[in-house]
Structure 1
């Protein structure tokens, strides 16, 4: 078939013809045409992989995204033959494969269409570059919405968008800038209340069109590699999210301090300045756990070195900061300075660890140190060497590493030329195939080194460019953003999108990296960032020397910033519990409203509201001078956090937004754990844990997870999983508690605050012991003390 390309040249597209034979091997089905093979792999009753060999020969079945812990659990599956198609079935899905052309139609067990090929799989030779361009096009169902795709800075609903995955150093990106730093070829479809996901596991440059070119067609394609994608059925969006992380892996629990507030600047220099910043936090009693060191801590920007002038005694500095409750995170870039006297360069040259061009010359390019060479992280031997380089940093006391510039970014070229060669774990490929996983594998090697040398403590890594599945070892931030209200909105959308794309441990540079925010923008950004798993202020150097610390904008703004950073620390037990749910079940920590109320069409295009975990709904203040804001609440009952006013969901409400408040709601019926006031996480071992209990008419379960907050004792049972269930009756309130685990927490009691009781209580009973209540009226907060292991509270 002759088709016209965008360049006006003609090329031939190839389409599968009639199925000639088929066979079954375990949970794999193979369908053969004259030149194309379709492999259908049943991973579970809801997860199916489709893989095509365009010219009758499959490529190596290898993935940097798929977790080696992914389990196959097919139970009841099989195949039926019909005159026009084959039906591969599981307990919940029906996959119809056309005999004429391999086109797919996927339905649920009741026959409702979930996903349907348009042209389906097809391909053409890539005459200019080699290999094949592979395509798949599908019909857009009526009123279908699309979500996911990682950090794309655009509307949450992707219908009508066309997006590209090619990791790019997008300095000062704006709304709809594309491509950006990360490469997550995974999206959700939602129509008629039915959700599914498609993960296209291909590391070449990939393009996704959600009805932009043809309004009724969505398509995805790659300029090389194989058509290999996973279909994940919900029907709930949250179930799709869990299915995706079943494939690509779940995150491990971070050290608790990494969920605290983090302060960074390009650059805090010299060590005296770092000490001053730390002292100022403690003097002003603004909580903080982490100080980052940007590139100026190095000697001439040489990775794994310390500036002799600025940081002459790094171990002493880190020890001194540690005594004040601070951890130190340092930046490490991939560019290794070309310097014959630099031992890292010497090692890499000696063992041929650096990337080379097609003619055998080293890949050289300018970054911060000047002329640099770059490790080939696709070589497992290089990853092992790179991991070993972190031994000295760990011994110095560094507790985390920040991988930047790893798209890879090169000043004069943007990134590597396509002729750069890579090992690709024994395959030998060009940069076309390796580009999108270069930073991904750098961060993986970094985490491996920190894990080894920080043992028994947990590692912390933050990276700029990654591929699908990076949640297994790193956090991310949204990149070089701008101090503007538009970017505050982008920060919210990007972190929501990253969360539902598997990477919940994400945040933005608070206040913006480029430019200078005023006090109002800064504190509104702080307010939003309280509810992002990664909470870090970071800013660029500038001519005025302006800094973005919480006290930089004057006393009024400092007070608000302090209030909300304190709120972050109060909520750490809840945030850590939400991270545990994400780690254990693969549920995203941040949830766009569509992911918690997918039957409600009002939620599909909402970008300002989102939930963090099961209990908190947030809507950030998004414009200067805003005195009130409209907020859409999904179905249910919601308490306004600041005054306990109760709202009924399924409607848009207005709330006042004074500078020291933001729209924040608590779901009725939940238990929200709080720490008392602390300055850093090592102070959390106080005598009590506070429980805020929000009365609800419907039975509701809540959770509290706790462990040591560092090291790996939780793997050996040193954790507690606490389940609360609230049951309300007329004139009687019951809170049941079940306690599982073997961790000995430091606190001895709970201070319980019960919000919103609709009756005047006279007494409360804890595990059979009754106590009269003398100072509580209808609607007030009832405060009760209870032993840490109480099992039942009754208020009547």
Structure 2
């Protein structure tokens, strides 16, 4: 206050002079001159004139960790919560060329230059193409504990990433914050949301991961056409520069740094039904029975937070559940798995548990009082926030969550882990003191630490069993512990006006995959809004379902007691929803294979067209379509009343997956008829798509036949696919225990040659299962030969009857209407050659 009064009395001229001096001082912080350097193995530390340090650690020939510290201490309070593999490859001793105006470092892929006066970092590829550069002398600007990095922005540069964010996929021209926030019914432009994943990729062949857990900000050209920036208010200013030949290569290296995604159990890829007030035993049994009665496939039923007696004692609510073990046993016998919600708090009304946790010191503290922070909670009254950064908490929490697992539950969804009601405006939360640090540092990783505890304690008590854990609030590296969903989407004011929020879930889902969340779902129907007119809601439900079944994890969920089971919306909506869910189950072998790819590489299953077709100028602008794996392109209908969908097909040829015979030339937009019973789906010519018959739950028939759909390529070209299988339940996949079957179809001048190659590494699929190869052709073959022996043409039956038959006799038939040749044989886990003449 004294300073303000003094300033008011100064003459205007003195004020201007003072402002100029302050501006000069601010600018001086940006103008660091680099004087010297020191090398220690793969790390070079540059010494600045002011005492600041800029450290470059070469994680590989294409990944450089950049650490700028204006204090020169190069110290951090906590090790990285995200990075688990600092060294991706051995690069040996780094050599620095000390030139008159710069220091230069060469790797096998990069040329790194640091200009001395003023200090400026520039990174080129090995062909001397500038990829990434500090903006003038403002590459790293310090202001107290805040550091802002300014980088050169090219006129045609595009940006993708930052994980689960709303709005367009291309981030250019927008600004974003990282602060995990509970945002029910969020808009199509709202930011921040539930997860903080400060990793993005540029069209100039690089990615940046800012490994800082504070409220970081990213401004992609909002302040200037010449630069973009990213900044942190406090903490170690560390970021990773990642060079790659394309987006896939960049993302794979990010996953190399932050860890591989865990694979869900096989049943997690089935359909799941939920509701805010799914909290009763009789209700769960009735809903499950109705699904089976109506023959709508489903694997999972959720129970929301009201299943507990108290927050969070993991005891079944008295009066709602009379025999929970019996309920779970019956549901399991009917092919159902039950997933339970958990919150990271203990209600003060839960006196016994609250007292126990408080006496142990297991709650986050209030820095003003030293006592447990008094957290208002959306339900259950005020709570203590469990401090999962305390090592002893893990075993305590693990024992609690094991109780319903021992009863027969199958996993959890960790909800409200922001922790809820800790948004930007809730500044009192900044007085929360965790064992690992103050809340401004720990906020974004609070849910991350919780998920780590849940996963590790599950595996400790359930050895060699895959966890199912789906989370809302997270930080970079979450893929090591959990899966994700997009939180409380939809229009709370008017559920029927939720089309915009629904459409934006396509971008949110694609973006989530870019943040290392390959196993993801939207809440089908949207969480928000009271449904009072089910017939009026039927169209939005149908279209949301048709998109939702292409989420790797598919869950229908809505708030309160708003029922969203398919039959609630009328016969037509039920029929179309059932058909969509059945398609998801038919595609299970294809989807599960890409699940393994996601584990191995971190590449998303739901992919933006820009990722597969970065050189196609029109494809990179498409944001309402996606690739499901590499072979299938999906263009869900996202607008009310739309019956003709404008679809852009990238270069090549694309076949209508609905009729499997209509061919479209790529590189063009087409008008595709899409009545309510139709999802626009296309398969790339020269593809193979493994499928299975419809089942009521995943692997209802463990020896199910494989239906291999082959869309042959041109003469002398191949179509190929390697099917991945494992036991679907254990952690043996981490030891590479699996079976692979490679199908290769070569088009020749006289027909089509298909070879099967099997590789069983500790896991063998059911022997003798049926193998039905569906060749989608332009003409009827004259003969089919299997391993050198002609097989008979089967007449007098339809294609459906052929697939359903259990006869061991090999043969083939031609379906004229579908222009399909179906070859029947058995999978004996040996090499096989099939020739169609």
TM-score, length-scaled by structure 2: 0.89
Q: Is the 8 A contact 2:209 2:240 kept in 1?
A: yes
Residue 401 to residue 10, structure 1, CA distance change in 2 (3 Å) = farther
Residue 263 to residue 13, structure 1, CA distance change in 2 (3 Å) = farther
Helix, strand or coil at the partner of 2:682: strand
Residue 265 to residue 746, structure 1, CA distance change in 2 (3 Å) = same
1:785 aligns with 2:824: yes
Helix, strand or coil at the partner of 1:444: helix
Q: Is the 8 A contact 1:609 1:620 kept in 2?
A: yes
* Greater alpha carbon shift after TM alignment, 736-745 vs 144-153: 736-745
TM-score, length-scaled by structure 1: 0.94
Candidates 208, 212, 218, aligned match of 1:202: 212
1:567 aligns with 2:567: no
Q: Which residue of 2 aligns with 1:14?
A: 29
Residue 165 to residue 731, structure 1, CA distance change in 2 (3 Å) = same
Residue 39 to residue 489, structure 1, CA distance change in 2 (3 Å) = same
| Residues 225-240 of structure 1: pairs in structure 2 closer than 5 A | 225-240=235-250
Q: Is the 8 A contact 1:45 1:75 kept in 2?
A: no
Deviations 1:242-267 (A, max 9, x none): 01101111112210111110110011
Residue 612 to residue 112, structure 1, CA distance change in 2 (3 Å) = same
1:358 aligns with 2:372: no
Q: Which residue of 1 aligns with 2:518?
A: 504
Deviations 1:308-348 (A, max 9, x none): 110132111111111111111111111211146323x2331
Helix, strand or coil at the partner of 1:170: coil
Q: Which residue of 1 aligns with 2:109?
A: 92
Candidates 264, 286, 301, aligned match of 2:296: 286
Deviations 1:703-736 (A, max 9, x none): 2100111012334553102222232122321222
Residue 49 to residue 692, structure 1, CA distance change in 2 (3 Å) = same
Helix, strand or coil at the partner of 2:365: coil
Q: Which residue of 2 aligns with 1:468?
A: 476
Distance in 2 of aligned mates of 1:332 and 1:364:
19
| Residues 181-220 of structure 1: pairs in structure 2 closer than 5 A | 181-191=194-204, 195-220=205-230
1:76: how far off?
Answer: 9.0
RMSD (Å), alpha carbons: 2.4
Q: Is the 8 A contact 1:366 1:411 kept in 2?
A: no
Residue 690 to residue 406, structure 1, CA distance change in 2 (3 Å) = same
Distance in 1 of aligned mates of 2:500 and 2:161:
20
Helix, strand or coil at the partner of 2:396: helix
Q: Which residue of 2 aligns with 1:129?
A: none
| Residues 61-80 of structure 1: pairs in structure 2 closer than 5 A | 62-68=79-85, 71-74=88-91, 78-80=95-97
| Residues 245-256 of structure 1: pairs in structure 2 closer than 5 A | 245-256=255-266
Q: Which residue of 2 aligns with 1:31?
A: 46
Q: Which residue of 2 aligns with 1:458?
A: 466
1:795 aligns with 2:806: no
Distance in 2 of aligned mates of 1:77 and 1:722:
44
| Residues 116-515 of structure 1: pairs in structure 2 closer than 5 A | 116-118=133-135, 119-126=137-144, 132-191=145-204, 195-339=205-349, 341-343=351-353, 345-359=354-368, 360-367=370-377, 368-410=379-421, 414=426, 417-424=429-436, 429-482=437-490, 483=495, 484-515=498-529
Q: Is the 8 A contact 1:183 1:467 kept in 2?
A: yes
Q: Is the 8 A contact 1:169 1:414 kept in 2?
A: no
Distance in 1 of aligned mates of 2:313 and 2:584:
33
Q: Is the 8 A contact 1:394 1:453 kept in 2?
A: no
1:767: how far off?
Answer: 2.3
Q: Which residue of 1 aligns with 2:542?
A: 523
Residue 16 to residue 382, structure 1, CA distance change in 2 (3 Å) = farther
Rg (Cα) greater in structure? 2
Q: Which residue of 1 aligns with 2:785?
A: 765
Distance in 1 of aligned mates of 2:486 and 2:592:
21
The structure 1 segments of at least 4 consecutive aligned residues displaced by more than 4 Å after TM superposition are 1-5, 8-13, 411-416, 772-775
* Greater alpha carbon shift after TM alignment, 293-302 vs 236-245: 293-302
Distance in 2 of aligned mates of 1:347 and 1:251:
35
Helix, strand or coil at the partner of 1:232: strand
Deviations 1:411-463 (A, max 9, x none): 89847621211222xxxx21111111011111111112222223332111011
1:3: how far off?
Answer: 11
Distance in 2 of aligned mates of 1:671 and 1:447:
35
Candidates 582, 585, 592, aligned match of 2:608: 592
Helix, strand or coil at the partner of 2:658: coil
Residue 387 to residue 125, structure 1, CA distance change in 2 (3 Å) = farther
Helix, strand or coil at the partner of 1:20: strand
1:385: how far off?
Answer: 2.7
Name stretches of at least 5 consecutive residues in structure 2 with no aligned partner: 1-15, 795-812
1:12: how far off?
Answer: 7.2
Q: Which residue of 2 aligns with 1:676?
A: 693
- Number of aligned residue pairs: give it: 779
Distance in 1 of aligned mates of 2:141 and 2:791:
75
1:137: how far off?
Answer: 0.7
Residue 423 to residue 307, structure 1, CA distance change in 2 (3 Å) = same
